């Protein structure tokens, strides 16, 4: 029995007519004898890539479990083309939709981490016929407004308005995060928490209560806003934003396995 790992770059039309072609780097597990019809798609966080701890661990698990599993880098992230500062929530959602449409088959569970939780929700709204369930890790819908802009000082807001860029120090990277005014403004077109979210699929959420980037109360607001009645949230009192310890990853695998079992019974 041979399981296949496929890597490549998917060509997409450029945002700007006449510009160079754009590519989305991806990797996927393609089992020759799948354990079931449900596939998994990983949606990473802000400025993260598909080689991160959780994404890699899930790829290894999917291979062993004979599950189709897709991970990729958004525009301006990792090995994909484009400048990070030119990316927006809508652009990254479109990347996700392109990859779901072109590189997956059958029903999908979307696994979204942090910003990837927002992207997963937007993708599920756009592809309700394909998305059977969501597993969200410290989901950050509306973060550009609720967790960035509204928390910025007047000085930072003035910098963004004047220069178009604010370089925010990050504990996850040696280089600062470059936050663009374009990201903030375009993000307002995709807000979800200001009205009911008409998703009825099962949703599983893992959240750390010591998360300093996405407070656990933000996840609770998402639970209240979703229309689905099939939602569970697992709070880790000692958990941080990354939730990438071996115990965290074991809990994540457990949530995915249980959801697959529910969907395929």
Considering the candidates 211, 213, 236, 244, report the single residue annotated as catalytic. 211
- Give residue-wise pLDDT tens across range 168-211: 888 777 788 899 999 999 999 999 999 999 999 999 999 999 99
- Give residue-wise pLDDT tens across range 128-152: 999 999 999 999 999 999 999 999 9
Per-residue confidence (pLDDT) for residue 67, from 0 to 100: 97
Residue 1 has pLDDT above 50, yes or no: no
Over residues 100-110, mean pLDDT: 98
Contact 117, 190 (CB under 8 A): no
58: pLDDT confidence band, cut at 50, 70 and 90? very high
Considering the candidates 48, 80, 113, 114, report the single residue annotated as catalytic. 114
pTM of the model: 0.96
Over residues 111-118, mean pLDDT: 98
Over residues 229-243, mean pLDDT: 97
Q: Give the three-class secondary structure for 152.
A: coil
Considering the candidates 77, 190, 218, 241, report the single residue annotated as catalytic. 241
Look up 211 and say whether it is catalytic: yes
Over residues 237-260, mean pLDDT: 97
Look up 218 and say whether it is catalytic: no
> What is the C-alpha to C-alpha distance for residues 205 and 164, in angstroms, rounded to an integer?
34
Residue 47 has pLDDT above 50, yes or no: yes
Q: Give the three-class secondary structure for 201.
A: coil
Over residues 232-256, mean pLDDT: 97
Edge to edge, what strands does the sheet with 39-43 contain?
3-12, 22-31, 69-72, 39-43, 108-113, 131-137, 203-208, 231-236
Domains, the chain, in order of start with CATH, read 3-141+198-264 (3.40.50.1820)
- Give residue-wise pLDDT tens across range 30-44: 999 999 999 999 999
Look up 77 and say whether it is catalytic: no
């Amino acid at each position: 029995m041979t399981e296949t790992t496929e890597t490549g770059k998917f060509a997409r039309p450029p945002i700007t007519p006449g510009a160079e072609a754009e590519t989305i780097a991806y990797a996927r597990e393609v089992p020759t004898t799948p354990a079931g019809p449900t596939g998994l798609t990983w949606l990473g966080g802000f400025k993260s890539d598909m080689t991160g701890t959780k994404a890699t661990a899930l790829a290894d698990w999917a291979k062993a479990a004979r599950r189709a599993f897709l991970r990729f880098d958004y525009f301006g992230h990792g090995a994909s083309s484009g400048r990070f500062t030119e990316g927006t929530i809508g652009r990254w959602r479109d990347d996700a939709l392109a990859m779901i449409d072109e590189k997956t088959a059958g029903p999908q569970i979307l696994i979204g981490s942090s910003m990837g939780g927002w992207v997963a929700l937007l993708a599920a709204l756009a592809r309700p016929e394909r998305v059977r369930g969501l597993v969200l890790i410290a989901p950050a819908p509306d973060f550009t407004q609720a967790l960035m802009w509204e928390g910025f000082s007047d000085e930072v807001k003035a910098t963004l308005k004047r220069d178009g860029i604010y370089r925010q120090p990050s504990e996850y990277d040696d280089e600062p995060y470059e936050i663009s005014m374009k990201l903030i403004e375009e993000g307002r077109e995709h807000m979800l928490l200001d009205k009911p979210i008409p998703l009825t699929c099962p949703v599983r959420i893992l959240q750390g209560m010591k998360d300093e980037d996405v407070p656990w109360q933000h996840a609770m607001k998402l639970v209240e806003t979703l229309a689905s009645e099939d939602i569970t949230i697992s709070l880790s009192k000692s958990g941080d934003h990354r939730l990438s310890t071996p115990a965290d990853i074991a809990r994540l695998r457990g949530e995915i396995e249980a959801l697959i079992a529910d969907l395929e019974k």
